[in-house]
Amino acid sequence: MSELQHVTDETFQAEVLEADLPVLVDFTAIWCGPCKMVDPIVAELADEWAGQVKVLKIDVDHNPNIPMQYMVMGVPSLLLFRDGEVKERMTGYKPKKHIIAKFSKHF
Protein backbone atom coordinates (compact mmCIF):
# COMPACT_ATOMS: atom_id res chain seq x y z
CA MET A 1 0.00 0.00 0.00
CA SER A 2 1.33 3.39 -0.92
CA GLU A 3 1.71 6.31 1.47
CA LEU A 4 -0.82 8.97 0.54
CA GLN A 5 0.35 12.41 -0.45
CA HIS A 6 -0.78 15.23 1.82
CA VAL A 7 -2.14 18.48 0.46
CA THR A 8 -2.17 21.80 2.32
CA ASP A 9 -4.11 25.06 2.19
CA GLU A 10 -1.26 26.36 -0.01
CA THR A 11 -1.07 23.43 -2.45
CA PHE A 12 -4.81 22.65 -2.70
CA GLN A 13 -5.44 24.84 -5.76
CA ALA A 14 -2.72 23.21 -7.87
CA GLU A 15 -3.06 19.63 -6.57
CA VAL A 16 -6.86 19.37 -6.45
CA LEU A 17 -8.71 22.12 -8.29
CA GLU A 18 -6.38 22.18 -11.31
CA ALA A 19 -5.85 18.39 -11.51
CA ASP A 20 -6.48 16.57 -14.78
CA LEU A 21 -7.94 13.54 -12.98
CA PRO A 22 -10.77 13.41 -10.47
CA VAL A 23 -9.35 13.87 -6.95
CA LEU A 24 -10.56 12.13 -3.80
CA VAL A 25 -9.55 14.19 -0.76
CA ASP A 26 -9.57 12.58 2.69
CA PHE A 27 -10.16 15.31 5.29
CA THR A 28 -8.64 13.87 8.45
CA ALA A 29 -7.17 14.59 11.89
CA ILE A 30 -4.52 12.76 13.93
CA TRP A 31 -6.77 12.50 17.02
CA CYS A 32 -9.75 11.05 15.09
CA GLY A 33 -10.53 7.37 15.72
CA PRO A 34 -12.84 6.84 12.71
CA CYS A 35 -10.16 8.50 10.53
CA LYS A 36 -7.70 5.78 11.55
CA MET A 37 -10.31 3.17 10.57
CA VAL A 38 -10.86 4.68 7.11
CA ASP A 39 -7.11 5.27 6.43
CA PRO A 40 -6.31 1.74 5.18
CA ILE A 41 -9.43 1.72 2.98
CA VAL A 42 -8.47 5.03 1.37
CA ALA A 43 -4.90 3.76 0.85
CA GLU A 44 -6.24 0.60 -0.85
CA LEU A 45 -8.47 2.68 -3.10
CA ALA A 46 -5.52 4.90 -4.04
CA ASP A 47 -3.71 1.78 -5.29
CA GLU A 48 -6.79 0.29 -6.99
CA TRP A 49 -7.77 3.57 -8.67
CA ALA A 50 -4.21 4.54 -9.71
CA GLY A 51 -4.31 6.32 -13.06
CA GLN A 52 -8.05 7.01 -12.74
CA VAL A 53 -8.26 9.06 -9.54
CA LYS A 54 -5.74 11.05 -7.55
CA VAL A 55 -6.13 10.36 -3.80
CA LEU A 56 -4.88 12.93 -1.28
CA LYS A 57 -5.18 13.66 2.45
CA ILE A 58 -5.51 16.97 4.25
CA ASP A 59 -5.09 17.46 8.00
CA VAL A 60 -7.91 19.74 9.11
CA ASP A 61 -6.04 20.94 12.22
CA HIS A 62 -2.98 22.13 10.29
CA ASN A 63 -4.94 23.40 7.28
CA PRO A 64 -8.13 25.10 8.54
CA ASN A 65 -8.94 27.22 5.48
CA ILE A 66 -9.80 24.52 2.96
CA PRO A 67 -12.13 22.55 5.29
CA MET A 68 -13.90 25.81 6.15
CA GLN A 69 -14.21 26.76 2.48
CA TYR A 70 -15.85 23.39 1.66
CA MET A 71 -17.97 23.29 4.84
CA VAL A 72 -16.33 20.14 6.20
CA MET A 73 -17.90 19.89 9.66
CA GLY A 74 -16.73 16.40 10.66
CA VAL A 75 -13.87 14.02 10.06
CA PRO A 76 -13.28 11.79 8.32
CA SER A 77 -14.86 13.40 5.28
CA LEU A 78 -14.18 12.24 1.75
CA LEU A 79 -14.81 14.74 -1.03
CA LEU A 80 -14.49 13.93 -4.71
CA PHE A 81 -13.45 16.86 -6.90
CA ARG A 82 -13.69 16.87 -10.67
CA ASP A 83 -12.85 19.89 -12.81
CA GLY A 84 -12.45 22.00 -9.66
CA GLU A 85 -15.89 21.21 -8.23
CA VAL A 86 -17.13 18.90 -5.48
CA LYS A 87 -19.07 16.09 -7.16
CA GLU A 88 -19.66 13.88 -4.11
CA ARG A 89 -19.05 13.86 -0.36
CA MET A 90 -19.23 11.36 2.48
CA THR A 91 -18.70 11.97 6.19
CA GLY A 92 -17.87 9.40 8.85
CA TYR A 93 -16.60 5.86 8.62
CA LYS A 94 -18.21 3.72 5.92
CA PRO A 95 -17.26 0.25 4.65
CA LYS A 96 -15.14 0.09 1.51
CA LYS A 97 -18.02 -1.13 -0.70
CA HIS A 98 -20.10 1.93 0.25
CA ILE A 99 -17.23 4.27 -0.57
CA ILE A 100 -16.71 2.60 -3.95
CA ALA A 101 -20.43 2.71 -4.77
CA LYS A 102 -20.71 6.40 -3.90
CA PHE A 103 -17.62 7.67 -5.71
CA SER A 104 -16.84 5.33 -8.61
CA LYS A 105 -19.77 6.55 -10.73
CA HIS A 106 -17.86 9.83 -11.23
CA PHE A 107 -14.92 8.36 -13.15
Burial of 62 (0-12, 13-18, 19+ CB in 10 A): exposed
> pLDDT tens across 43-85, in order?
999 999 999 999 999 999 999 999 999 999 999 999 999 999 9
Tell whether the model's pLDDT for residue 2 goes beyond 90.
no
Task: Return the axis-axis angle of helices 33-48 and 96-103, rounded to nearest 10°.
Answer: 60
Q: Give the bridge partners for 57, in sequence order.
A: 6, 26
d(C-alpha 55, C-alpha 35), whole Å = 15
Per the annotation, the verdict on 35 as an active-site residue is: yes
Domains in the chain, start-ordered, CATH in brackets?
A: 5-106 (3.40.30.10)
Tell whether the model's pLDDT for residue 1 goes beyond 70.
no
> pLDDT tens across 6-24, in order?
999 999 999 999 999 999 9
Of 23, 24, 25, 32, the catalytic one is 32
> Is the alpha carbon torsion for 29, 73, 16, 24 positive or negative?
positive
Of 35, 38, 58, 60, the catalytic one is 35
pTM: 0.96
Of the pLDDT bands very low, low, confident and very high (cuts 50, 70, 90), residue 94 is: very high
